[in-house]
Amino acid sequence: MTGRAAWHRRAGLLPLAYFAALVVLAFTHPFLPQWRWLAVHILLLGGATNAILIWSSHFTAAILRVPAPPNRRAETVRLFLLNTGIVLVLTGGHRGVAGAALVFTAVALHLRWLVVRLRTALPSRFTITVHYYAAAAAALLTGIPVGAWMLVTDDALRPRLVLFHAHVNLLGWILLTVLGTLLTFWPTVLRTKMDPRAIAAARTALPTAITGVVALSIGVLAAWPMVAATGVAVFAVAVLLTLLPAARTARNRPPESFAAWSIAAGAGWLLVALVLDAHALITGSDQLANVLFPLLAGAVAQILLGSLAYLLPMVLGGGPSLVRERNAVLDRHWPQRIAMTNGALLAMQLPVGSHARITTSFLLLIALLQFLVPALRLLITDRRQPRVPA
């Protein structure tokens, strides 16, 4: 085991542990009055935020050619603060406020780390990706205090604060990170060259996305539906600016793996969710209920699982043959998994009865387990090393 492989073997268990918690929640939710809130925060604050802290640090070091640290102590501290905070937030009440403070501290330390690396690194073609990460961290640091405030108060402003907290954290923290990562990650997953216009598109998309998040935030706080919907539309333009070069790349080298198709399907659901969000903000319908499921299960979860399916076999090392073998394990039955997941997601958007929703929910759970079980086995039991020729 190399030092990097050993670190990622341990750190990679963190987001998978939160996906395992979602499986447990699926069977116990009838006994939990706040299970929807728990599900959202287990996925976003637990799974996605851990993955972002781990992998944005990894990509930043690679992009900026940062020398390998002598140890992982600082990163370990950030992850310890983050996960201690998450556990406290999930318990709710005043403990949740203390937990939010710990999460805030972890993300602030992460942002400081990013800024220091940007200031000291040599110029790179892909520095724009790290700017995405810094902007995303700043967005989360804006959304966390609002979430902490809502844990202990319930006043007339709460509906607006809920919308602000959800949108800033989702679009600002999660999706800005996704958009910045796709620049270099998507061609890597497809094992092909980057579209020559991708870097210019990313540089244009970042200020566009930030403008959209700011306009959306002002609109929901001031109860200006058209301003909020305009912010979503501007953010959608940034998404399209990012996805067009990605689509041209995929046209030259079509996806052929679970990782690639899961990310592509997630990008499609992201566009659907943004359209639904803009419509809900304008009409004042049940905004979060109609938007969160396609955005979380359709976009965020699929992009996250697809990314992990590619990254985990790679960072564990062992040489090309072992990496291909691990990829094959995580790709097993991938056409069925992709079709079943997205068919179930589509069915959940239709006006079906409760029994049909339960059935489709179980299909999503089965697809999650088809990834989660081999991924956990890979991290826990597969410790093989490359064969040394005699």
CA–CA separation, 62 vs 8, rounded Å? 15
Tokens 């991708």 locate to: 198
Nearest to 235 by CA among 220, 253, 214, 257: 214
Angle of helix 258-283 relative to helix 334-348, nearest 10 degrees?
A: 10
Q: What is the DSSP letter of 170?
A: I
pLDDT tens sequence across 259-289: 999 999 999 999 999 999 999 899 876 666 6
Instruction: Please report the pLDDT score of residue 153 as a whole number.
Output: 74
Higher pLDDT, 339 or 154: 339
Q: pLDDT of 317-336, one tens digit each?
A: 778 888 899 999 999 999 99
Residue 84 has pLDDT above 50, yes or no: yes
User: How do the domains of the chain map onto residue ranges?
Assistant: 1-124
The pTM of this model reads 0.93
Tokens of 174: 């999660």
Q: Is 388 a residue whose pLDDT tops 60? A: no
Q: How far apart are CA 192 and CA 187, in angstroms?
A: 5
What proportion of the chain, given as a percentage, has pLDDT over 90?
68
Q: From the centroid of its chain, how far is CA 306?
A: 10
Q: Residue 128 in contact with residue 203, Cβ under 8 Å?
A: yes
The one-character DSSP state at 191 is: T
Region 295-304: mean pLDDT is 94
Region of 223 please: left (phi>0), alpha (psi -120 to 50) or beta: left
pLDDT, tens digit (0-9, with 9 covering 90-100), for 29-57:
888 888 888 999 999 999 999 999 999 99
C-alpha 212 chain-centroid distance: 19
Torsion of CA 288, 290, 294, 299, to 10 degrees: -30
In 3-state terms, what secondary structure has residue 369? Answer: helix
Angle at the Cα of 378 from the Cα atoms of 8 and 300, rounded to 5 degrees:
70
Helices (H), 153-172: 158-167
Asked if 266 contacts 298 with a C-beta cutoff of 8 angstroms, the reply is yes
Distance CA 338, CA 294 (A): 15
Residue 353 has pLDDT above 80, yes or no: no
Task: Please provide the DSSP assignment of 356-370 as one string.
Answer: HHHHHHHHHHHHHHH
Q: Which residues contact 386 (CB under 8 A, 6 or more apart)?
A: 317, 318, 319, 321, 322
Q: Whose CA is closest to 304, among 270, 354, 271, 332?
A: 270
Contacts of 131 (CB under 8 A, 6+ apart): 118, 180, 206
Query: Among positive and negative, which fits the CA dihedral 362, 365, 371, 377?
Result: negative
The whole-angstrom separation of Cα 52 and Cα 47 is 9
Q: Which residues contact 200 (CB under 8 A, 6 or more apart)?
A: none
Residues, the chain: 390
First to last CA, the chain: 20
Q: Is the CB of residue 169 less than 8 Å from the CB of residue 118?
A: no
Residue 363 has a pLDDT of: 92
Q: Residue 44: which of 142, 158, 168 has the closest Cα?
A: 168
The pLDDT of residue 140 is above 60? yes
pLDDT 10s digits, 181-218: 999 999 999 999 999 999 999 999 999 999 999 999 99
Two structure tokens written together for 384: 């093989």
Q: So what's the pLDDT on residue 390?
A: 35
